[in-house]
Structure 1
């Protein structure tokens, strides 16, 4: 749920949306799910059947903004599931089929995955998880 939503703390259907796109020529599909605070079974179903997934990678640790001194809210309070840790986005991505292309979007500038030398970036490389970049193009 976006932090400035009038329904903050009381989410309802339609507050966030994702897209499932299928190329009618190739039959390949993409699931675009930004602002994914907690993937439901329904959302996981879409992620598991997509050839490419693009999901929220805002923060590495839930308390990252507080620890770095740039904010007072946790990732969860802002509607973002941390990548790292028990129940983090990386755990959800690990349940997807091996052939699924996994791409993180909406990366906060405090997230250490932006520094290729940091452990977070190395972990993503090992798990075959990509970080989106400006101008990125995908072919299904």
Structure 2
């Protein structure tokens, strides 16, 4: 099984267009690489690919990855899109895929309802192309094709829903993907507020864990004067700190750990930052656009 990181940054990308924070300024000066918004593609055979989340940068991301280019006419190796939530940063790219003859979509009922009745993204998309929705139920294995299967798991969050009342079950999920032929598996979890015991059980022992790395510290945006909420209040457990993700990784027993969904303020985006060195010393990695993983 292969995974390609199409976009490694959180919403807004890095640098963010309207941000002059120290990290964005440093990226613009060449202290780190530019990153597009969070999305990955997964394949069992490198011929047919499944997109997890469709960011507003999806067209640029597809063009940067030749294996997603059409081979003849108006065909595409892109088989379907899986969604972890209904956030605009993860779903606006669906509208850019409207030229498809039909679009296969895997999402929980809660996410599907928000996209239909809340943001209206699916209602708009359906005016351009048929959308074939497969309901994803957390805890249930779903065959995708070519021996590849996925199992969504619920990611509890107290983050207030922007559209509608929200749902307790299935509003945010992660995915565990398995190559049924080899048994290889990986977990994609770009948003997690807290690694509670029931969630840790879904991650334990995976061969590759791509996990939320939005902020380094919980008060990162508050301290910079850029937001009034902490990282956790926005639905993201910070990387650093005594109870941050990095401190909890050894107990998860994942063979490879890669931080994704990196906010533009996060100092790990800078190649020579102390925070980046701390991550490297633990053996974990910081994702960049174009990173490829084979499991």
Give the TM-score taking structure 1 as reference length.
Answer: 0.88
| Structure 1 residue ranges (4+ consecutive) displaced by more than 6 angstroms after TM superposition | none
How many Å separate the matches in 1 of 2:245 and 2:165? 24
Cα distance change, pair 22–5 in 1 and its aligned pair in 2 (3 A): same
Aligned to 2:219: 63
- Counting strand residues as a fraction of each chain, which structure ranks higher? 2
The CA deviation string for residues 87-114 of structure 1, in whole angstroms up to 9 with x for no partner, is: 11112212122x6100111000110101
Aligned to 1:125: 280
- 1:29 maps onto 2:163 in alignment: no
Give unpaired runs (5+ residues) of structure 2: 1-156
How many Å separate the matches in 1 of 2:236 and 2:250? 18
Larger Rg computed on CA atoms: 2
For residues 60-139 of structure 1, the aligned pairs below 5 Å read 60-97=216-253, 100-139=255-294
How many Å separate the matches in 1 of 2:221 and 2:274? 18
- Give the count of matched residue pairs: 137
Give the TM-score taking structure 2 as reference length.
Answer: 0.44
Give unpaired runs (5+ residues) of structure 1: none
The CA deviation string for residues 17-67 of structure 1, in whole angstroms up to 9 with x for no partner, is: 010011123211101112110122222112112100011000001010111
CA RMSD of aligned residues (A): 1.8
How many Å separate the matches in 1 of 2:164 and 2:278? 37
- Structure 1 residue 7: deviation in Å? 4.3
